[in-house]
Amino acid sequence: MKPAPFDYVRAETIDEALATLANEGGEARIIAGGQSLMAMLNMRLAKPKTVVDIMRLKNLDRIEEKAGVVVVGAAVRQASLMGWPALPERLPLIALALPWTGHVQTRSRGTICGSIAHADPSAEMPLALIALGGEVHLRSARSRRRIAARDFFTGMMTTERADDELIEAVSFPVTPGRHCAFREVARRHGDFAIVACAAVATRDGVRLAVGGVADAPVARDWPRLDGSALDDALNAFAYDLDARDDIHATARYRRDLVRLIGRDLVREVCL
C-alpha cells in the first residue's frame, strides 16, 4: 500500500499554495493533517499529481474570536482546538464533539478544516458546522468567498469547493449560554459514527443536526416541540434522511436512533 508518485510542494505563503491550485486544478490536493488524505494515497484511491502541504503557513494556525464568531484557520489541529481554553464556554458543542472525533493519536495531527474539506458523511466536525450554522471560508488565487455550511456539503464527500480553492478557515457562531447537546453511536470508540446527533437551542426553538445517515450532515430547525409533535417531527426527519443499510448498521436501526436520540437531545436542550 504505497502511494503513486506525486510532486510535493511545501507552501511558505498562502499565495504559493493558491497558485499551485490554480495551475493544476483537480490534479493537486492540499495536505493538512493528512489523517484522511494519506490513507487514500496509500490505498491508491486518490492519485493527485501534486500534494501541497500548508502546515507551515503560520497565519493559518490561528483560533480567533471576532464579531461573534470563532474563526479556526486551516492549519489548526483538532488537538489544538480541543485544548483552547475558551472552547467549553464559547463553543460548547465542539467541546462535546471533539472527544468523539478519531483518537488522541489522530487528533494530534488531523485538522478541523481538513475534516470539513474531506466531508465524510459520518464525520463530527462537518456535523458541528451544520449544527451551529457556521461558514466555510474559501479562497482561490482570484477571489475569496464564504459559504454557509448548509450549502457547502453537496453530497457524499462532495463539497462546493472548486478545484482551485482551498479552505482558508471555518467559522462557528458563538452562542454563549445557549444549550447544546451531542451524542454519537458508533460500533467502537473513535469509529465513524453510525448516527451522530447535535442539538442546539436557537432563538426560536431548537436545531437538530444528524450525521452518519444521509450523504452529508443534515439539520432541521424547529420551534420548541414536545410530546407527539416532537415524535412526528423526528419520525419525518428520520425517514427523510433516506437511511441505507451497510455492513455496520441497517437503515431501520439508524432511523430508530434518530428518533430516540433526537428526542433525548431536543428535550435536553429545550429544558
Partner 1 sequence: MDSFRKLPADSDPTKLWVGQSIARVEDPALLTGRGHFIDDLGTRPDTLHAAILRSPHPHADVVGIDTVAARGANGVAAVLTGDDVKALTSSLVVGVKASVECWPIAVGRVRYVGEPVAVVVASDRYLAEDAVDLIDVQYRVRPSVVDPLLALAPDAPILHNGFSGNVASDRTFRYGDPERAFAEAARRIAIDIRYPRNSCTPIETYGVVAEYDAAESAFDILANFQGPFSIHAVISRALKVPGNRLRLRTPPDSGGSFGVKQGVFPYIVLISAASRLAGRPVKWIEDRLEHLTGSVSATNRVTTLAGAVAADGRIMALDWDQVEDCGAHLRAPEPATLYRMHGNLTGAYDIRHLSVRNRVVVTNKTPTGLNRGFGGPQLYFALERLVHRIAVELDLDPLDVIKRNLISSAAFPYRTASGALLDSGNYPEAVARAVEQGGLEELKNRRDTARAKGNLYGIGYAAVVEPSVSNMGYITTVLTAAERSRAGPKNGAQATATVALDPVGCVTVHVASVPQGQGHRTVLSQVVADVFGIAPTDVRVNTELDTAKDAWSIASGNYASRFAPAVAGTVKLAAERLAARLSRVAASQLNTDPDDLVFVGGVVRSKRNPDNRLAFARLAALGHWSPGSLPEDVGQTLRETVFWTPPQLTAPDEQDRVNSSLCHGFIFDFCGVEIDRTTLTTRIDRYVTMHDCGTILHPAMVDGQIRGGFAQALGAALYEEYAYAPDGSFLTGTFADYLLPTAVELPDPIILHIQTPSPFTHLGSKGVGEGNCMSTPVCIANAVADALGAMHVELPLAPARFSEMIRGTEIAAPGNSSASAAKTGRADRRLRGEGSASVSAAPDKVWAMLLNPATLKAAIPGCRHVERIDDSRFRADVTIGIGPVKGRYRAEVTLSEPDPPRAVTIGGRAEGALGFGEGEGRITLAPNDRGGTTVRYVYDAAIGGKIATIGGRLLDGAARVVVGEFFAGLARHAGGSARPSHRPPARLIARIWSLFGTPR
Partner 2 sequence: MTRLPSDRRHPVCFRLNGRPVHGEAEPRLLATDFLRQNIGATGVHVGCEHGVCGACTITVDGMLTRACLTLAVQIDGCDVRTIEGLAPSADRLGTLQSAFRRHHALQCGFCTPGILMSLDHFLRQRASPNRAEIRELLSGHLCRCTGYTPIVEAALEVAADIAAECKSEKGEASDA
Nearer to partner 2, 96 or 216 (CB): 96
CA dihedral in degrees (116, 119, 125, 127; nearest 10)? 130
- Is there a contact between 81 and 97 (Cβ–Cβ < 8 Å)? no
Residues 19-38 that bind partner 2 (CB under 8 A): 20, 34-35, 38
What are the residues whose beta carbons fall under 8 Å from the beta carbon of 94, sequence distance 6 or more? 81, 87, 128, 132, 172
Side-chain-facing half-sphere of 23: CA atoms under 13 Å: 11
Binder among 29, 77, 139, 183 for partner 2 (CB under 8 A): 77
Does 111 participate in binding partner 2 (rule CB under 8 A)?
no
Amino acid making up residue 97: A
Does 7 participate in binding partner 2 (rule CB under 8 A)?
yes
Q: Please, what is the minimum distance in Å from the beta carbon of residue 194 to partner 1? A: 8
Nearer to partner 2, 66 or 188 (CB): 188
Does 218 participate in binding partner 1 (rule CB under 8 A)?
yes
Nearer to partner 1, 26 or 88 (CB): 26
* Helix pair 251-270, 227-240: axis angle to 10 deg: 140
Q: Count residues near partner 1 (CB under 8 A).
A: 72
- What does 86 bind: partner 2, partner 1, none (CB cut-off 5 to 8 Å by kind)? none
Q: Please, what is the minimum distance in Å from the beta carbon of residue 161 to partner 1? A: 10
Residue 170, SS3 per DSSP: strand
Nearer to partner 2, 23 or 250 (CB): 23
Does 185 participate in binding partner 2 (rule CB under 8 A)?
no
- Is there a contact between 43 and 86 (Cβ–Cβ < 8 Å)? no
Binder among 214, 265, 269, 270 for partner 1 (CB under 8 A): 214
Q: Which of 149, 178, 159 is nearest to 118 (CA)?
A: 159
Does 258 participate in binding partner 1 (rule CB under 8 A)?
no
Q: Please, what is the minimum distance in Å from the beta carbon of residue 263 to partner 1? A: 10
- Is there a contact between 30 and 9 (Cβ–Cβ < 8 Å)? no
Query: What are 222's strand-pairing partners?
Result: 206
Q: Which of 170, 49, 44 is nearest to 114 (CA)?
A: 170
Stretch that binds partner 2, among 4-12, 133-141, 197-205, 230-238 (CB under 8 A): 4-12
Residue 252, SS3 per DSSP: helix
- Is there a contact between 10 and 54 (Cβ–Cβ < 8 Å)? no
- Is there a contact between 227 and 244 (Cβ–Cβ < 8 Å)? no
- What does 58 bind: partner 2, partner 1, none (CB cut-off 5 to 8 Å by kind)? none
Nearer to partner 1, 18 or 209 (CB): 209
- Is there a contact between 81 and 114 (Cβ–Cβ < 8 Å)? no
- What does 160 bind: partner 1, partner 2, none (CB cut-off 5 to 8 Å by kind)? none
Does 8 participate in binding partner 1 (rule CB under 8 A)?
no
For partner 2, the binding residues (CB under 8 A) are 1-13, 16, 20, 34-35, 38-39, 41-43, 49, 51, 53, 55, 77, 79, 102-106, 108-109, 188-190
